[in-house]
């Protein structure tokens, strides 16, 4: 679920961060507020909003189900969607900082040499911002492994389908004598989170060194 969430959300996060960084338009503050909304909303509220929008009778969920036979609520894909929505602001903030650190003079130089907007984006801007993009993806992946409220609200807690690591810990704690299982799963969660953070730090430093920063 975490891999699907990051794979789906990272390209959209790069595009959104690029638009917010490089363009000024009347709805820019509103767009920025909307993409950062999951950071300040309780995760259960985010899951409830997803349930309203993508439920079988929701405005988007009904269209997906009637036209394509796709049901997101209470499915693995729905759990990935909930994780993607919750981690989207994390990726946006990291990528925006990386894009803002790119020297505008390099983009202007490429422009004077005849490079178009897309050429500058893919050959100058994104390679220079790649440390922030990769770190944002890794941190988002680690964050997905700890997501609880939005997933259980939108995708439920179905063993073998939508039960994530935090939900498995919660289930173990509800069962008599499940403290040992919960402790083992908690150690796994701690190890995965620590590995993700250390990997993001290491990759960020290596890429910055490769770019001469």
Per-domain boundaries in the chain: 2-210
> Domain 2-210 classified CATH 3.30.565.10?
no
Mean pLDDT, rounded, of the chain: 87
CA 185, 191, 195 angle in degrees (round to 5)?
Answer: 150
- What's the rounded mean pLDDT across residues 73-86? 92
Q: Which residue has the tokens 């990051």?
A: 6
* Mean pLDDT along residues 39-49: 92
Alpha-carbon 66 to chain mean position: 28
pLDDT score for 189: 86
pLDDT of 92 higher than 90: yes
Q: Structure tokens of 190?
A: 């701690």
pLDDT band at 99 (very low <50, low <70, confident <90, very high): confident
Contact 88, 141 (CB under 8 A): no
pLDDT tens-digit series, residues 162-210: 888 899 998 898 888 888 889 999 899 888 888 878 887 787 777 767 6
- The pLDDT confidence band at residue 86, using thresholds 50, 70 and 90, is very high
Please determine, for residue 68, whether its predicted confidence score (pLDDT) is greater than 60.
Answer: yes
Rounded to two decimals, the pTM is 0.84
**Structure-block tokens of residue 102:** 């790119």
For the segment 51-67, the average pLDDT, to the nearest whole number, is 90
Q: How confident is the model at residue 11 (pLDDT cuts 50, 70, 90)?
A: very high
For residue range 104-146, list pLDDT tens digits in order: 777 788 778 777 777 887 888 888 888 888 888 888 988 888 8
Residue 143: the pLDDT is: 87
Q: What is the pLDDT of residue 212?
A: 60
Mean pLDDT, to the nearest integer, of 9-19? 92
Determine the distance from the C-alpha atom of residue 209 to the mean position of all C-alpha atoms in its chain, rounded to a whole number: 26
Q: Assign 3-class secondary structure to 1-47.
A: CHHHHHHHHHHHHHHHHHHHHHCCCCCHHHHHHHHHHHHHCCHHHHH
Exposed, middle or buried, 116 (CB in 10 Å: 0-12/13-18/19+)?
Answer: exposed
* Better-scored residue on pLDDT, 31 or 110: 31
Q: Is the dihedral of CA 198, 203, 206, 208 positive or negative?
A: negative
């Amino acid at each position: 679920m975490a891999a699907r969430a990051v794979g789906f959300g990272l390209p959209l996060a790069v595009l959104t961060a690029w638009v917010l960084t490089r363009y000024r338009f009347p709805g820019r503050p509103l767009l920025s507020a909307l993409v950062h909304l999951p950071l300040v909303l309780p995760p259960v509220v985010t899951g409830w909003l997803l349930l309203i929008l993508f439920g079988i009778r929701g405005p988007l969920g009904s269209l997906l189900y009637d036209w394509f036979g796709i049901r997101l609520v209470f499915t693995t894909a729905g759990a990935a969607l909930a994780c993607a929505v919750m981690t989207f602001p994390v990726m946006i903030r990291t990528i925006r900082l990386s894009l803002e650190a790119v020297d505008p003079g390099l983009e202007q130089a490429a422009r004077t040499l005849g490079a178009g907007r897309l050429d500058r984006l893919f050959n100058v801007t994104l390679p220079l911002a790649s440390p922030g993009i990769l770190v944002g993806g890794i941190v988002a992946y680690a964050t997905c492994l700890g997501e609880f409220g939005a997933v259980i609200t939108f995708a439920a807690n179905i063993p073998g389908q939508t039960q994530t690591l935090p939900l498995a810990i919660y289930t173990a704690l509800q069962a008599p004598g499940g403290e040992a299982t919960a402790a083992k799963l908690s150690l796994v969660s701690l190890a995965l989170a620590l590995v993700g953070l250390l990997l993001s730090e290491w990759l960020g430093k290596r890429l910055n060194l490769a770019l001469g920063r």
